C-alpha cells in the first residue's frame, strides 16, 4: 500500500464523533490508560486532532467501574449530555476467559458538556448480568432507544446486539 493512513488522534480506540446542533464536532474514545473519559471539541473533524482534551470523569480506585474504561460515547438526549461506556471491576478474566465489563452512564445537565458537573449514574441494567459494551443511543419516531452488544451465556457464540426503549 503506497498511501498510509494517518490517525486523526493517535492511540485512541473505540472513537466516537458527533456533531452537535451548534455545528461543532465532539470526540471521545478509549484512552491508553483506560482510566478516564476525555472529550474534545472543534469546528471541524480535522480540528479534533489538535483540540485540547478535557477530562470529564476519572474512574474510582475501587468498585464495579474501577478498571478498563472502554468505548465511551457522548450523546445529547432530552436536554442533557450523557456518556455511555463500559467498565470492569478488575482487569482479571472471568471463568469464560472474558473481561467483566458492564455498561455505565454519566450525565451532565449543563448546556456545555465542558462545564458543569458530570454525575456518575451507575450501571445500565439490561436484565442480563454478563459481558457487555459498545452502547449507543438514537431517536426514532420520537422514541429514544439504547442499543448495545452483550454476551448471553445461554446462547452459543459471540455477543448479540440488543435494543430497548429508554
Whether the CA torsion 44, 48, 49, 50 is positive or negative: it is: positive
Residue-wise pLDDT tens digits, 139-152 = 999 999 999 999 99
Other CB atoms within 10 A of residue 83 CB = 24
Indicate whether 37 pLDDT > 70: yes
Mean model confidence pLDDT for the chain: 94
Indicate whether 156 pLDDT > 90: no
Residue-wise pLDDT tens digits, 92-105 = 888 777 889 999 99
| pLDDT confidence band for 3 (50 / 70 / 90) | low
Residues with Cβ within 8 Å of residue 77, at least 6 apart in sequence:
137, 139, 144, 166
Assigned C-alpha cell, 24: 461543532
CA distance 164 to 29: 24
Question: Is pLDDT larger for residue 3 or for residue 156?
Answer: 156
CA distance 76 to 18: 10
The answer to whether residues 46 and 39 touch, using CB atoms and an 8 Å cutoff, is: no
Residue-wise pLDDT tens digits, 51-89 = 999 999 999 999 999 999 999 999 999 999 999 999 999
Residue-wise pLDDT tens digits, 12-24 = 999 999 999 999 9
The answer to whether residues 39 and 54 touch, using CB atoms and an 8 Å cutoff, is: yes
Amino acid at each position: 500500500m503506497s498511501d498510509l493512513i494517518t490517525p486523526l488522534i493517535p492511540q485512541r480506540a473505540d472513537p466516537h464523533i458527533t456533531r452537535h446542533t451548534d455545528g461543532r464536532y465532539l470526540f471521545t474514545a478509549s484512552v491508553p490508560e483506560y482510566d478516564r473519559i476525555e472529550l474534545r471539541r472543534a469546528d471541524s473533524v480535522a480540528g479534533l486532532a489538535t483540540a485540547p482534551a478535557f477530562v470529564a470523569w476519572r474512574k474510582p480506585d475501587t468498585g464495579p467501574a474501577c478498571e478498563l474504561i472502554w468505548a465511551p460515547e457522548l450523546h445529547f438526549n432530552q436536554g442533557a449530555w450523557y456518556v455511555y461506556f463500559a467498565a470492569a471491576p478488575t482487569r482479571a478474566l472471568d471463568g469464560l476467559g472474558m473481561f467483566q465489563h458492564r455498561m455505565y452512564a454519566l450525565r451532565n445537565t449543563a448546556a456545555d458538556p465542558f462545564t458543569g458537573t458530570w454525575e456518575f449514574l451507575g450501571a445500565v441494567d439490561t436484565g442480563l448480568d454478563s459481558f457487555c459494551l459498545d452502547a449507543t443511543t438514537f431517536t426514532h419516531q420520537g422514541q429514544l432507544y439504547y442499543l448495545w452488544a452483550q454476551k448471553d451465556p445461554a446462547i452459543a457464540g459471540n455477543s448479540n446486539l440488543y435494543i430497548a426503549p429508554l
